[in-house]
Amino acid sequence: MTIIERLYQYMDFRGLSAYEVEHACSISNGYLGKQRKKQGAVGTDILERIKTQYPELSIIWLFSGRGNMLIDASLPPEEQLAHEMNEEKAAYLTSKDEIIALLRAQVILLENALSDKQKLITLLEKETERKKP
C-alpha cells in the first residue's frame, strides 16, 4: 500500500473528502485525486501540511503502514512525540532485521555464483592444458 492509499484510508476513517483535506491543508484542488489515480508520490511539503492539520495521524504509519494509524490525542504533545519516536524506532529495527536477512540471502547467492564460476574456470584451464601440444 502506498502513502496516498494510506492517506485515503485515514480520510475514509475520519469521513473526510479529498476536497476537505485539500482545502484544510491549502493543497491545490484535485491534487490528492490526481496522485491517487496516477499512483504518484506526495511531496514532503504536502505531508508537512497534512501532519500540521491532522496531528493525530501517525507519520510512521502513513509512510510504512507500521504501527497505529492514530496517535492518542489525549496524550500531551511531548508524550505523543515520544510515542511516535518509539514507533519509528520499532519500524527501524524491524526494517533493519529484514534488510540484514535479505543481504545474507544475497551473499549466499553470490557465493554460490562465485563457486560455480570458479569451477568453470578450473574446467576451462584443464581443457586448455589438455589441448596444448
Q: What is the 3-state secondary structure (H, E, C) of 46-76?
A: HHHHHHHHCCCECHHHHHHCCCCCECCCCCC
| pLDDT given at position 6 | 93
Amino acid code (one letter) for 43: G
Digit-coded pLDDT (tens) for 52-87: 899 889 888 888 888 888 887 776 777 767 777 777
Please give the model's pTM, rounded to 2 decimal places: 0.58
b/e 85-106 (16+ beta carbons within 10 angstroms → b): eebbeebeeeeeeeeeeeeeee
The domain locations on the chain are 1-54, 76-133
What is the predicted pLDDT for the residue at 71? 81
How far apart are alpha carbons 128 and 31 in whole angstroms?
66
Half-sphere exposure of 34 (CA within 13 A, CB side): 7
Residue 120's pLDDT is: 95
pLDDT in tens, 28-59: 999 998 998 888 888 889 999 998 899 889 88
Predicted pLDDT at 99: 84
Is the pLDDT reported for residue 113 higher than 90?
A: yes
Q: What is the pLDDT of residue 16?
A: 95
